[in-house]
Amino acid sequence: MIYEGKQKIWADYQKEIPDDHYFYVRSCIRQSFFPASEATFLDITRNRLGKDIFETEHHTTCGGIAYHSDTIPQETVMTIIARQFALMAKNGYENYVCSCITSFGLYCETMETWREFPELEAKIRENLWKTCKLDFAKPKYLIHASDLIYKYRNLIAKQAVHKLVNVHTGQPLKVVEHIGCHYSKMFPSKGVGGAEYPYVLVGMIEAWGGEIVDYPERRHCCGFGFRQYFIKGNRGYSLSNTHKKFESMEPFHPDFIITNCPGCPYFMDRWQYVIAESTGKTYGQDGHGIPVLTYEEVAGLVMGYDPWDLGLQTHQVGVEPLLDKMGIEYDPEKKYQGKGGKDIGRPEPCACLK
Amino acid sequence: MKNNVLIVGGGPAGLEASSQLQRLGYNVILIERSTALGGHLAKWDRLFPSGVSARETLKSLMGHIEGVKYFTDTEVQSINRLEKSYNVILSNGITVLADAVLMTTGFDLFKASRKEEYGYGIYNRVITNADLEAYFRNGSDPRIDNPKRIGFVHCVGSRDEKAGCRSCSKVCCATAVKQAMEMKQAFPDADVFCFYMDLRLFGRHYEDMYLSAQRDYGIRFIRGRVAEVAENADGSLQVKAEDTVASKPLKASLDLLVLMAGMRPSVSGRRVGDLLEMPVEEDGYFSVKEGIVSGQKSPHPGIFLAGAATGPKTLPDTLADARAAAVMIDQYLSDVFPEAKHYKNLVRELW
Amino acid sequence: MTPLSYILTAQAAEVAQAAPEVIDRIPSGYNHFVIPFCIGIAFFLIWITVGCIRLLLKIPHHDRLRFWASLVNPVTALKNIRDLFFDCLFHVKIWKRKPLLGYMHSAIAFGWFMLIVLGHIEVALFVPKRLGISKTALFYPIFYRFFVWMNPGHTTLRGWVFFFLMDFFLLYVLTGISLAVFKRFRSLALGMKHTTKPSFADRVALYSLWLIFPLRLLAESFTADLSGGSFLTIPVNHLWHFIFGDKLWIMPSWWLYSICLGLFFAAMPFSRYMHILTEVLWILLRNAGIKPNHPRKGVAEAEIYACSSCGLCLDACPMNVQKKNLKYSSVYFIRFLRRHNEKKINEIADKCLMCDKCHALCPVGVDAPALRRAQRATVNNSICFDYSYLDSASAAVEQGWTSPGPDCRPAEGEDSTPEVMYFAGCMSHLTPRIIKSVEKVFKAAGVSYVFADEGGGICCGRPLMLAGRNEAAAKTIAANKKMIEGSGCKTLVLSCPICFKVFKEEYHLEGIKVLHYTQFFNELIASGRLKPVMGQERLVYHDPCELGRGCNVYYEPRAALSQLGTLVKASKEYDESLCCGGSLGSLTLDARDRAKISEAAVISLVANKPDKIVTACPLCLKTFSESVANSSYPVDPVRVVDFAEAISESL
Amino acid sequence: MVDFGFGLVPSSRINLDLFDKERYEELASMEPDVRKCMSCGSCTAVCTAGKYSATSLREAIECIHNGQPDKALGMLKSCQFCGKCTMVCPRGINTRHLILSINKTYGEL
């Protein structure tokens, strides 16, 4: 691997990210899968970085899941999106930040489509007016939440309490980065670093002292694939995709995986459990899995948040080995205690996955 | 008086045209942007289908240009049309009053790094056809370390609209088959795979070359374009393609991957073209006046084209094109400058 | 003269008168020089007795019974005797082909045979005590001339006749031998382009054989003045007296003679000359109708040892157009079978085109192609296959009949079951002109027919058999059989000799007449249903291997073609005809080698400048067409047409 | 082991690394023509057995190259050996012997 070669490509795909005043929209499924992530994002950006991030309870889903499951037509999706944009404009923002990769891809797709077919945009404007009596303005900047963390990666590094380094060996942690398919595969120019070697997560890892490993199936989908998962008959297919990725990354012995998409961490985390329990195969050290973290969680760890406040207990794959490597203090007792110390229940012990 | 003919580009086409025009009794000025004459031919080792030495071929081309004034490291600075001829100022300060200009600006090799998924410049063991020729010429390349499994990817930057080139580069298939056989000669116990979309080998002896590659060298031809390359933990490459004959996706680990970079219009040639406001077609190559009928005439009087400047050509095509251009220029000048005729006859008697 | 002396002489004369015609010169009837011969012959006799017993034991029980039965059955017995004389002694088959060569073989075989027989009769007549169960019986008759003294005073016509006959046959053999010696160096003169390379044992036996008879002449001529002789030995004897005076080299010559005989018999089992006796056994087994089921064991053993390595198959083999392919001829195949050289055996077995010419021309009737197939079977029969689809396939084929096209409908006034069923076969489907012509002829003759495999059928099974995949073939055959017998047709017409042979020999179709279209069309012409117009063209007919040598169909196609134009001869035809080179028989022969063979065949066919080459096999048709089309060899413009095509064009 | 009602799906992908070179060279020494195939498909088009069952020499050769000899044998098991493919092969490949050789080389797998 020739690092300079990658740098050349990264140089070709730089994207402009505004400095402040962001309109933030959440992801449907992250809120339930890894609820602490978005909270952490807001806390970091608002309180640690002192940025103006506005969010409104009036925003809805972007419709992406329905759209990608072929259950609603494109115009409907576009109208939903137009409404979100209207909300942004109404609140006086022009930098649109979304927490979800599916949404990000869909927003890009929509804006590109409107650029190609202005008449369609006009039609949507009309739809929105008919339905909600709202008018919308297209965002000046459309960015994904991970782009923001990327932008402030060095500031975060400055405030870092922990580094992505194995405190016992002093070696940088080996990190696998997994980018949501819809981040830049559709529009390479819209993602930091393009589609082949996206830099958005790599940048964070490098800034925080870790080392990225490129494994053959790094481009491969996590296996979510919407209807591939929703329909039980297809779940084997979803599982096999994830399996393929882990088989491919195994020889590189990564310490953890960092992701920037709602579905990916969920599936790469839960499918490790399914693979272990149904085939007996585990990919981490001595029977453990490979922890799969969101970029907010990683940022949080680096900045010294308590692992349980970051919601790491909601992961199927135990994060303790990673915390130990990073030399992060944690209280095992508190793992399954929610706010005010009340028990949030524990998962069934696994037969194969430690 | 002698007519001046300016030839822009010292590749095979330029060399052949200048020697022809010289013999026809013209005063030929040949300019070459780089430090040496010969163009891409100077960088190649052996030529398909018979495997003759590029060095020798170039030498014999150079052998015929005595008397031709040529300047290397020289570009066209400005050029403007006078009533009958062109006033050209060269970067070395010389001004030429050219009665005819022949554009033999040739082609650039496609920048393989632009096909990011192939990882040229990122993976240690991915090289291009040009790199391989260089290896054959001077026998060493750190990336080529006794490979056991070698892959050739045809159509890199050819027949690929996203890479900015819809058309076929014409020479890559034959080159790939030639280089595959050469690699097999160099590493007899290696497995060699050629990933092709269509095998476009149509010239004389090309089919024999293909048959021999299969029968005598055991080279495996896989119909399907490599779509993804990655590096394994041990540094070997993992390539993915579809075997479209078996209609199944395919995976292979290789020790060396050779990208058959195609032909793109010469950028510097294009620059000169812009000075002359020469029209180019969608594919970026110069357009000719009446298509088939006068393949070497540009839409501007007194400006002619030969070789890859008007699209991908094999070496024999290029040389034939250059000779044709010489004849056309001769006709043109004889019509425009009838008075120079008797002098030319004088010169021709010398030959 | 004194009275005493008179009496003495008178007595002597009396004694002479009284004395028998033949007197023991050596009363013991033995001399050391016989030892080499005795050793040789003894070894030889033991060898073949053991061999015969082993062989007969290897044959399956029912075959053995069949064998004994055949010996007593007068019909086969007669055939046996006939074959033994014609094949083993007179070599009639060779006579027919190459008279000089025939003479050579018969001279040696028959001549020697007579010398032995007459020798024994002589002994039986003159010194019976030496025969029968006497210890001298083994060698005495052979060296008879040495042991006796001829009473000059008492010669009879009987004696004289024997002397004459013995000398005569000796001379007869000597001429044969001299031809043989000559052939070694100038084989072409005897009509042989190629000859076999003799092995070591062959050479020992060969040279001793060459010497035996000259030495016999020498030995007997030395003793001729004592033990008598005739027109050959006596003059030679006088010559010796003239040269050597009284010092005759009697003993050395008899020693040498005996040594050569001994050597010959000792070397025989390991040499080609073993055939002299195995041939007999093979003929008996063959006539008993016992077929080999293994390339080497059982009957096959007799068969391979019956091969005389005469090398006639070398010239016969179509592959001989390239010298490099001579090594694949039957003679070498059999030699390697004898030597148990598996690798070579398989290599040679696979090469063969199965044109059957070597079999047809073999003086001893060794069926090498059959042995090759048996050999292939040992390797290929076990190859797994899955023909479970055959039933549905044949059903699909039958589907094709239920909706017969207009051409398939029976002509007016006939009962609804069509007259014939036409089975084109795989290869005919590659040569549509055959199918079209056949149908055209059918219509012209008002023959109602069903086109069995119009939409493509199942293979006939012959190609599988040729490759030795007999089990697979059996399955295929069964499927086709069921289908055809189910059709209720009475006559089955085939346009492919490969199909024809297997349908005729292996299918055993009850109550169905199996005809090759050459036969059927010839019938149509003979019965006047088909009226071809006589044309001006010169036609040459190519005998396809499977049709001619394979099924003995030579006459009908020629009879029919002679109605269309002038039939000219090919330089090689009938059972001598050359394989087209396209044969399915060969497994390993590559395209280039095949092309050479086709070339040779075409050249033989155009010997008399025909306008059309007519063949009756889709394979030959395709092969010849291609060969003529891209002929790099000089050949006048000639059209290659199929038999049916030729007929239909003349209608 | 837990049964989730779904599981890993076997991959249909060709893995060239499974190609057994030694055996292939064995085959090639038995019938060198195997190298000459250019996948034109004439053999499959005329195949007698192919009309009723999946039989294709072209595909069999492909499978061998792709490290799927068992599949190759399956492609040939219903071959009737009629020789039409030999007649139509533009490269003059000795198809019948090739089929035998494939069976002999990979048969006992």
Give the domain CATH number at C514: 3.40.50
Does residue C553 fall inside a structural domain? yes
Q: How many CB atoms lie within 10 A of CB C260?
A: 23
C346 lies in the same domain as C412? no
User: Could you tell me the domains of chain B?
Assistant: 4-106+266-336 (3.50.50.60), 109-263 (3.50.50.60)
State the pLDDT at residue B291: 67
Confidence of residue C183 (pLDDT cuts 50, 70, 90): confident
Touch of D by A (3+ CB pairs closer than 8 Å): yes
Instruction: Please write the tens of the pLDDT for every residue from B213-249.
Output: 999 999 999 999 999 999 999 999 999 999 999 999 9
Q: Quick one: average pLDDT of B203-210?
A: 93
Torsion of CA D4, D5, D7, D11, to 10 degrees: -170
Q: Quick one: average pLDDT of C604-632?
A: 92
Mark yes or no for CB contact A252/B238 under 8 Å: no
C440 lies in the same domain as C571? no
Chains touching C, CB cut-off 8 Å, 3+ pairs = D
State the pLDDT at residue C248: 78
B207 part of contact set with chain D, CB < 8 Å:
no
Mark yes or no for CB contact B246/D17 under 8 Å: no
Does residue C88 fall inside a structural domain? no
State the pLDDT at residue C633: 67
Decide if A166 contacts A173 (C-beta within 8 A): yes
State the pLDDT at residue C14: 54
Q: Quick one: average pLDDT of C259-273?
A: 91
Instruction: Please write the tens of the pLDDT for every residue from C137-161.
Output: 788 888 888 888 877 766 677 778 8
State the pLDDT at residue C405: 44
Q: Which residue of D has its CA nearest to C590?
A: D94
Q: Quick one: average pLDDT of C193-201?
A: 82
State the pLDDT at residue A63: 93
State the pLDDT at residue C226: 83
Q: If you write DSSP's letter for every residue of C30-68 in order, what string do you get?
A: --TTHHHHHHHHHHHHHHHHHHHHHHHHHS-HHHHHHHH
Alpha-carbon span C409 to C447, nearest angstrom? 10
Confidence of residue C126 (pLDDT cuts 50, 70, 90): confident
C518 lies in the same domain as C538? no
State the pLDDT at residue C459: 93
Q: Is the peptide bond before B49 cis (omega within 30 degrees of 0)?
A: yes
Least confident of B306-310, C241-245, D26-30: C241-245
Interior/surface letters C307-324, b for 16+ CB within 10 angstroms, e for the rest: bbbbbbbbbbbbbbbeee
Is it the case that residue D4 has pLDDT exceeding 50?
Answer: yes
Torsion of CA C449, C454, C456, C460, to 10 degrees: 20
3-class secondary-structure state, position D99: helix
* Below-50 pLDDT ranges, chain A: none
Confidence of residue C20 (pLDDT cuts 50, 70, 90): low
Which of C501, C525, C549 represents a domain boundary (last residue)? C525
State the pLDDT at residue C150: 78
- What type of residue sits at position A235? R
Which of C251, C270, C289 represents a domain boundary (last residue)? C270
Q: What is the CA C472 to chain-centroid distance, rounded?
A: 30
B188 part of contact set with chain D, CB < 8 Å:
no
- What type of residue sits at position C295? P
Is it the case that residue B144 has pLDDT exceeding 90?
Answer: yes
Least confident of A45-49, A273-277, B191-195, C632-636: C632-636
Chains touching D, CB cut-off 8 Å, 3+ pairs = A, B, C
Give the residue numbers spanning the domain of C180: 3-48+101-270
D13 part of contact set with chain A, CB < 8 Å:
no
Sign of the Cα pseudo-torsion (B342, B345, B347, B350, in order) = negative
Confidence of residue C534 (pLDDT cuts 50, 70, 90): very high
**Average pLDDT score, chain B:** 93
Is it the case that residue C245 has pLDDT exceeding 90?
Answer: no
Give the CATH superfamily of D18-106: Alpha-helical ferredoxin (1.10.1060.10)
DSSP-derived letter for residue B288 is: P
Top-confidence residue, C419 or B267: B267
Alpha-carbon span D61 to D65, nearest angstrom? 6
Confidence of residue C135 (pLDDT cuts 50, 70, 90): confident
C241 lies in the same domain as C348? no
Number of A:D CB contacts under 8 A? 37
C10 lies in the same domain as C118? yes
C223 lies in the same domain as C319? no
Instruction: Please write the tens of the pLDDT for every residue from C316-350.
Output: 999 999 999 999 999 999 989 988 888 899 999 99
Q: Quick one: average pLDDT of C271-281?
A: 87
Q: How far is CA C111 from CA C85, C119, C180, in A?
A: 12, 12, 14
C594 lies in the same domain as C544? yes
C18 lies in the same domain as C142? yes
How far off is chain A from B12, nearest CA to CA, in Å? Answer: 33
Write the residue in C383, C426, C582 that is nearest to D82 by C-beta: C426
User: What are the tokens at A330?
Assistant: 């944690």
Alpha-carbon span C402 to C424, nearest angstrom? 18
User: What are the tokens at C177?
Assistant: 């031998």
Instruction: Please write the tens of the pLDDT for every residue from C202-230.
Output: 899 999 999 999 999 999 888 888 888 88
Is it the case that residue C191 has pLDDT exceeding 90?
Answer: no
Please state the domain count of chain C.
Answer: 4
User: What are the tokens at B34?
Assistant: 């780089």
Alpha-carbon span C240 to C221, nearest angstrom? 8
Alpha helices (runs of H) in B264-340, residue ranges in sequence order: 267-275, 315-336
C316 lies in the same domain as C347? yes
State the pLDDT at residue C356: 95
C282 lies in the same domain as C372? yes
C262 lies in the same domain as C130? yes
Chains touching A, CB cut-off 8 Å, 3+ pairs = B, D
Does residue C357 fall inside a structural domain? yes
State the pLDDT at residue C76: 92
Q: Which residue of B has its CA nearest to A4?
A: B122
Mark yes or no for CB contact C385/D88 under 8 Å: no
Instruction: Please write the tens of the pLDDT for every residue from C376-414.
Output: 999 999 999 999 999 888 888 887 775 444 444 444 444
Is it the case that residue C2 has pLDDT exceeding 60?
Answer: no
Is it the case that residue D39 has pLDDT exceeding 60?
Answer: yes
State the pLDDT at residue C1: 40
- What type of residue sits at position A296? E
- At residue A271, φ and ψ (nearest 5 deg) are -65, -30
Check which CATH number belongs to the domain holding C338 and give it. 1.10.1060.10
Torsion of CA B197, B199, B200, B201, to 10 degrees: 160
Class of residue B331 by CB neighbours under 10 A (exposed 0-12, middle 13-18, buried 19+): exposed
